[in-house]
Structure 1
């Protein structure tokens, strides 16, 4: 589980916490300079927050991790399943997963209800950061990312450690049949009272990790929810689309 302190700027997944050769963290909404409704650590540029605030917040977050913002590689995400092999830092377009084996390139994905997944291969020294909304989840973006790591770096999934991060939880992710039909029965629940389905994105993505070959004991799943813990995390759904964004990040130490 993650260690919670009073209003932290970020939380580090426990599964990576003792490792000295990577930096991995998930931001909260705390400790930034943005005002409502983006209060306060809004790290997302695709909002109507003041751009200067977003830049200051990014520097605050990455500096707190001991990372120069110029080291960061991230992409404008499109809820797809395209994977970028990032050989240098920068801003990219159209990718929802990034992988690298280059120390000093800090991968990051933006989140505000969708599921972040961070992967570390300690044998081949490679990392991945994945943004999995419901569309990316049904497109098997986690499985595809691991396959890409195998092809690119020789990664063996059984060697990997993974974190399934903070997102909208099953009890809050109410969907219609047009979305639910894309999910297997073990990842959805019908609610007779609400006449709706509920989707478990955390389990769906964790099961992709298991199916790809990761060991169950090498997978950590966040205890937090963007909706249930909305005082600590941004939630696009709970805040009716007008809110900030968090980042999940992982990188090899130079």
Structure 2
């Protein structure tokens, strides 16, 4: 991250050797929404004032190239991936998107779930993934990588802020679901005295990416739950706003 200031609304994501790709992620700060969505809420489905969300999204758009359109998704915690050929003003129902088109900014909304951005070395293909535990367990990462024409060895993955392991307590059924995919995932769960487990979302995603052949994994490993001045967190606050992570191929 080139700017880690708590008061910044928009943070640039540093993707070395990917000059033709713009990637950003947001915090909760310096927007227009009121409590409990204060203040840079970008989610239009959380009962925030509609005009505040519009103003926040306009501010976000102004940080992108002039002819760039943000493609929003209607995220449903599923494993469907959409190949975006052209901009749609109506959100597309899916939890991941892929494109090889310029000036199409793929957006993911999160407030504890893991945002995952993908780009190939030639900057000709990108994707954005809503990495909640359910989509990840249902192989949304693999479903997305399948759309790339390039081989996985040429793809870089960026993992954004999400709920950290000390706050993300899950039941044994979640652990078992991942272990059915591979015994390797057992290392991503730490047993607690109450028979539940702390889950490491970043590690789970990294293991899946590596299994798919993607070795270049980078990111910002900050915990949304434990940084209330910087990030929204659904598990911490219940009713709250959403951050956005965005990636776009520029001419």
**Please, what TM-score do these two structures have when normalized by structure 1?**
0.90
Matched, 1:181 2:176: yes
1:229-248 alignment, distance < 5 Å: 229-239=227-237, 241-248=238-245
What is the CA-CA distance between 1:212 and the residue it aligns to? 0.9
Count of aligned positions: 244
Indicate the SS of the match to 2:126: strand
Could you tell me whether the CA contact under 8 Å between 2:20 and 2:123 is conserved in 1? no
The answer to whether the aligner puts 1:106 opposite 2:105 as a matched pair is: yes
Q: Tell whether the 8 Å contact from 1:137 to 1:201 is kept in structure 2 after alignment.
A: no
Distance in 2 separating the partners of 1:191 and 1:221: 27
Q: Is 1:26 aligned to 2:21, yes or no? A: no
Q: How does 1:86-105 map to 2 (within 5 A)?
A: 86-90=84-88, 91-105=90-104
Kindly indicate whether residue 152 of structure 2 is the aligned counterpart of residue 157 of structure 1: yes
CA RMSD of aligned residues (A): 1.7
4+ residue runs over 3 A deviation: 65-68
> 1:13·1:220 contact (CA, 8 Å) conserved in 2?
no
- Secondary structure of 2:234 counterpart: coil
Residue-by-residue CA offset, 1:117-138 (whole Å, 9 max, x unaligned)? 0001123610000001110111
Aligned to 2:119: 120
Aligned to 1:7: 7
Partner Cα separation in structure 2 for residue 67 and residue 245 of structure 1: 24
Cα 1:161–1:78 change in 2 (3 A) is same
Residues of 2 paired with 1:170 and 1:6: CA distance? 21
CA distance in structure 2 between the aligned counterparts of 1:231 and 1:124, rounded to whole angstroms = 34
Q: Deviations over 1:83-136 (max 9, x none)?
A: 100011223342000000000111001111111100011236100000011101
Contact 2:71 2:87 in 1 (8 A): yes
**3-state DSSP class of the match of 1:183?**
helix
CA distance in 2, matches of 1:188, 1:107: 31
Mapped contact 1:34–1:53 kept (Cα < 8 A): yes
- Superposition deviation, residue 67 in structure 1: 5.0
Aligned residue for 2:209, secondary structure, equals: helix
- Alignment partners' CA distance in 1, 2:157 and 2:150: 13
Partner of 1:84: 82
Q: Secondary structure at the match of 1:4?
A: coil
TM-score (norm 2): 0.92
The DSSP-based 3-state class of the residue aligned with 1:61 is: helix
